[in-house]
Each structure stands twice: as structure tokens, then as C-alpha cells.
Structure 1
């Protein structure tokens, strides 16, 4: 039977959020990793730290002016410093970018080129899709003096470029500032970015509970946030669920081995996932299932679970478990998180997130602990525990599609 946890999910969330935003390349990210490692070590788990190189980047200030008017802007992550005055060239599609004349100009990216929660991550990360590859190639080929990415949401300062591969100064502006720039056509603007970076190391934390069998269940959640949010929902909630599962499951003996994977760099395309696969690709066949917790416990949402790469037998087991949780819904497969690294290796994946949370909430300063429900967080812990218990006599061959 699981042990009563020492700390509640919500307490773990508050402690992580008190550290501050946890972007990859920050001291707060390192502090959060140390906090979680301490929690896992206290549960008697075997710890592995997987380090990877990453610039330690800091923005000191960003100013964007058009004539005498100052517009709201924020430097994109890992942007080099600059003081550029040039006319803008607006491009809204990949086809327009391919034929644009950007050399010496400031490229104003909007529409197709700035949609979503991040248009350009790290090239060495696990998730670097073909559109991002093409975008990086075209930008390097065009050689603009600087870039301005226009966020689709009013008031949003979510950094849309999060890549240290791009050696072009860049900033993001909210939709209303983008409108001003687009209406002014090619009028010269001045972009000033004060930033600095140095070489550093960052890490994912892995903890293991050996069972009587080497086959294992992997529990994962990402550590990092964007620079403008403490990330209570995304994803201190997932980290808190894993911490409580360590406190409740760690002291007990289990037939199947358990692994906790606190991964880093999800917001940059899965940098920690790529390092995990590089080191442990030959062990993927031992994994019965990977359970990813990314954004749970919101008061205005319901927990949702998808199954990817799972056998009919695993589908049936999960359906039986979920039948006992009226507040949990099944969802379609989705790929925008760390479980996709495991899915790509044939591992059955159970990503858990939330239904009903608006995109306008995610990656903003509004993502704070008061939006989270202790009962909903505990419900996710209970759900995962029930699934783990149901998998104790199962094998990877049984669970795979």
C-alpha cells in the first residue's frame, strides 16, 4: 500500500513558485532542480543527474521605438545584444520569407511565422520539426539585421524564439504593438537589446526505485518555464504530483521498477529529452509505459488522459481505472510535450493534462498557485497510483500496440 505523503501537492507547487520563473539557462532553474532532487533523495530513491550544456542568458533591457513612440517589447530568449536602426520588412508566411529581401533590414514576423507558443526552439532538442528547420535555414540565409516576432495575443510578452542556435538579435511584441508596426509599413524602427550570456550546465534529474523486475514505469514532468511566469499550472503542478508520488510510492516494495524523470528544456523543444534518449536509447524496450504529467489541477478544468502507442489490453485497463474517476476525461493523442520522445521509441504513453484551460492563460504571469485545486491535484495522484498498481504484473510486450 502507498505511504501517506509528507507534503501536499499544493505545498510543493507553492515552494517551486516561490523560487521564481525557471527558464532554461537561469539560476532559478538550477535551484528548482536542487529542490526536487532533495525531495527524491529523501524518499530513498537512487539519483542520476543528466547534465547538458546551455548558455546562461540574461536580459538587462529591451527598447523598441518608432519615431518618438516607444512600443512594448521583450528580447527573445538567448538573443544577442544589439542597437539596430533599420526599416522593417513584414513577412507573414514561409513563402513570403523565402523571397523577401531582409539583408540589413528588421524582419517583422507575423501570421503563420509567429503562431503558437514558440516558433523556434533549440536545434539539438528532441522536438525540432520541419517548419522550424526551414524557418532557421531561411533566416540564416536572409541575414536580417534583427527580427521582431508579433504575438497573436493582445498584451502577451511570451517569448516566441527560444533558441541559442540563432545568432540574430530578436524581440517579441504583443499584438497591439505589432499592429502599430504593420500599419507604419517600412518606416525605420530602432531596436535596442541589452543582454549577456556565458557557458553553463543545466540538468535533468532521474530517480529510480528498483523493483523485483527490471521492467519499469516512467513518470515524467518538465521543470522549466518561460521567463515571464512562475508556472504553477505549467508545470509546477506536474512536478508536485511526481514529488507526492515519490513520497507515497518510494518507501514501498514493488514488483516493477519505477523511474521519476524530471526533465528540463521542454519549452525549448525538449533539450533534456534528447539527452535522455542519447544516453538510454538501448533501454527503451524495458519500459512498460511512460506517464507524463503536464498542466494539471486547474480549478476551471478537468484532468484529461490520452493513450498513445498502447495495446488494446492497456486501453482496457486504463478504461477500467478511469471509470472510477468521474471527473477525469479521455482525450485524443497530442504531441506537444515530453512524452513524444518516448512515443517515438515505441513506448506506450499516457500523457495527462487538463481540458478547458484557455491558451491565453498558459505562459503568462497569471499562472500562479491560487488557480490550482488541491483536490484536483490529489485526484491525479490517485489516478496515477491506480494505474501503476494495475501494471505491476504486466510486461512491455503486453502494453505495446
Structure 2
């Protein structure tokens, strides 16, 4: 398998719920089958929005914006309120205001607080005031964030414009949005290498991108990793079966992996471990393992990596990727990643392209991950306890908005 061809064939934006995302799903299915491993697509619902019109006026002057999909339609007018923090005092000032935040999005509790405070609408900001490009990312108002609260109109503006609004002490904002909201479909791609036992190790990686990114680093690299492991493990006698899950719509809030654990809930009882790959194979960057399982696995990864001469930083925690829904359903999970500096290999922007990838480093990463996978697939008994430590459960509750993060 030529790794470079994977990036060449997927060198375009393929965001959640689009025909381009489906194109890449079918491509990955074909790559599995080319290796002699049957694969299938499993569809799941994603909320979609087609923006028909979006206008933002600051003291009567129109500025560029991108409406968030799934935030509703209509128009709203009010006083601008710049709110850099989400502390109670800051939130209290949002009543009847159109709030400008420093962030690119909003979490569950911050949104709930703003709705209870009476905010009329929310503006987010994207980009860098000093970069030559003035891209504005297309984001969505997620159902998991809205919860039982009402929707308010939301839009993204470029950071340079956000600075101007504050610098020029803009008073009045008018936001107009018209969009068509509908139920779309995304897909997981699933392939299997059976083992002797009726138990599985699930390997996962997401293949969707954000609206501006070609997603070479985040995360076609992880998908190439799964295909590389598959190629090296096929035809081998395994004790535990390997199930490969290429997840759709991770960038929309881990929707693919959430759909998988929901639709395969009974099978999770026979799943002993989740190995997740999210961003590997860059020229520069530190290789890490984030373990959502007992601490013994963290130590094992450190020891094994030292044994084979592969530098790694392993720690316990919850990773913002597709390993999280597995851990939340009681499956021990580990996410592997090569974390490069954002100035070297940025993500979620136009600069995430195949040029940041090193095929040599990617192959080294795949070789290490294959050794790790082989050891567990051939274990007489999977040594990792099927229990999630209390400290990890606490982090899962916070990450999945069941509990507020302690200050």
C-alpha cells in the first residue's frame, strides 16, 4: 500500500454530512476491500443546515460573517456586549445583548448560562488578525450544546473584524439569517479481521474534516494508520478479532463514534479495548498516548515503547476524540497522536494539507502501532481491566457536559 496515494486521493474538503464525506467513506471501503478485508458503511443521522442568507450589521455597516448552521432563522437586533469570560459576573451582563465571545464555539454550560441570562444572539470569532487570509470557518450550533434551551441566532466573524468592533466601540448589532435545516446522513466504515475468540479490539479513526481543511493531518493520517495496521495484520492468526471503524462526523462532536457505541451497545460487552488514532505521521511533533483506562496500561505503553525504542509520552486522561464514547461505555480506550506545534502543522484551517505529512514518519508510527496492536490481539487474555477509574469517569462527566468542570 502506498501511503502517499491515500492523501492524494482525499486531497479536498470532506466535511460532515456532505457528498464529499460520503466519497471518502466509499474510498476507505474500497481500500479495505483492496486489502482483502470486507467492509461496509453504516449510516447515521446528522443535523444539517443550508445557509441561504446571512447578514451582520454593526452600527449600520455590513461586515462579513458566516451563520452557524442549525441555529435557526430570523433577525435580531441589540446592543453589542463583548464577553471575554464566562464567569457569573460576565454572563450577568449579557441580558438583552448580542454577545461577542473570544472563542470559536461554545460549550453546554456556557450556552445554558447565556440563555438563562437572556442573551439575544451570539457572535464567535475565527482566524488570526495578522495572517494574510481572512477565512471564516463554517460551524454549527450543536444539539448537545442547546439541550432543552431555546436556539438563538449565531454567527462567526473574522478576528480582525472582532477587534474592530471592540476598538470602534460599536453599539448596535443586527443579525439576519435564513437557512434550511434538515436531517442529513453521515457514515461509519467498518471492516473486520476475525480472531479465535468472540471478543474484539476496536481500532478507530475519523475521516471527516472541518469546512476549510483538507484534513491530511486531522485525520486522514489516522485513517492511513488503520489501513497500515490492517495490511500488516491481515492473514495472521489472531486470538482477539480486530474491528476497524473509520468514523464520520467526529468534527461535529464525535457523532460517528457516538453512533457506533449506540448502535452496537450489545457488542460492546465483547469489546476488550479501543485503540484510537487521531493525527499521526507529521515531520515534527511528540508522540503521545492518552489512556482512558487503568493506570497499568499507561505504564505498559511507556515500558513497551522503551523496549522497542520508540519515544512516547503516556498519561491517563480523556482525549477529545473518538476514544471518549468507548470509555464512557465502559470500554478501556487509548488515543495515540503525534502532536505537532500549531505553527508547523495547524488543524481546522486551510493549512491542514498533505504537505505537512512525512510518509517516513507515518510508516514508523504505523509500525509501532502495529506492534502494540499485535501484542493485544495475540494475548492469551486481554490484560487490561474492564473498568474505568473514578478519576477518568469524573473527566468523562465533565467532557460530556454531565457535570460542570470544577474551577
TM-score by structure 2 length? 0.81
Q: Distance in 2 between matches of 1:162 and 1:13?
A: 30
User: Aligned pair in 2 of structure 1 residues 186, 280: CA closer, same or farther (>3 Å)?
Assistant: same
Q: Distance in 1 between matches of 2:100 and 2:297?
A: 51
Q: Distance in 2 between matches of 1:396 and 1:346?
A: 18
Structure 2 residue 27 is the aligned partner of structure 1 residue 42: no
Please, which moves more after superposition, 158-167 or 44-53? 158-167
Aligned to 1:73: 65
5 Å-filtered alignment, 1:2-21, equals 7-17=1-11, 20-21=12-13
Shift of 1:179: 1.6
Please say if residues 81 and 99 of structure 2, whose CA atoms lie closer than 8 Å, have aligned partners that are also in contact: yes
TM-score by structure 1 length? 0.82
Q: 255, 262, 274: which one pairs with 2:258?
A: 274
Structure 2 residue 161 is the aligned partner of structure 1 residue 168: no
Please say if residues 25 and 57 of structure 1, whose CA atoms lie closer than 8 Å, have aligned partners that are also in contact: no
Structure 2 residue 122 is the aligned partner of structure 1 residue 147: yes
5 Å-filtered alignment, 1:102-251, equals 102-103=95-96, 105-110=97-102, 114=103, 118-120=105-107, 132=108, 134-141=109-116, 144-151=119-126, 153-154=128-129, 157-159=136-138, 161-164=140-143, 166=146, 167-185=151-169, 187-251=171-235
Shift of 1:330: 1.5
Shift of 1:98: 4.4
Residues 206-230 of structure 1, C-alpha deviations (whole Å, 9 max, x = no match) = 2111111122221100122211111
Residues 70-107 of structure 1, C-alpha deviations (whole Å, 9 max, x = no match) = 5343222434344544332333324146424544x422
Structure 2 residue 16 is the aligned partner of structure 1 residue 30: no
SS of 2:209's equivalent in the other structure is coil
Q: 257, 265, 280: which one pairs with 2:241?
A: 257
SS of 2:171's equivalent in the other structure is coil
Unpaired runs of at least 5, structure 2: 388-407
Structure 2 residue 350 is the aligned partner of structure 1 residue 375: no
Q: How large is the Cα RMSD of the aligned pairs?
A: 2.9
5 Å-filtered alignment, 1:336-375, equals 336-358=320-342, 361-375=346-360
Shift of 1:300: 2.3
5 Å-filtered alignment, 1:291-306, equals 291-306=275-290
Structure 2 residue 48 is the aligned partner of structure 1 residue 56: yes
Q: 281, 288, 296: which one pairs with 1:312?
A: 296
Aligned to 2:376: 391
Shift of 1:237: 0.8
Shift of 1:371: 0.6
Shift of 1:339: 0.7
Aligned to 2:273: 289
Please say if residues 308 and 348 of structure 1, whose CA atoms lie closer than 8 Å, have aligned partners that are also in contact: yes
Q: Distance in 2 between matches of 1:331 and 1:158?
A: 32
Q: Distance in 2 between matches of 1:394 and 1:209?
A: 16
Please say if residues 26 and 56 of structure 1, whose CA atoms lie closer than 8 Å, have aligned partners that are also in contact: no
Q: Which has the higher contact order (CA 8 A, sep 6+)?
A: 1
User: Aligned pair in 2 of structure 1 residues 317, 338: CA closer, same or farther (>3 Å)?
Assistant: closer
Q: Distance in 2 between matches of 1:285 and 1:60?
A: 45
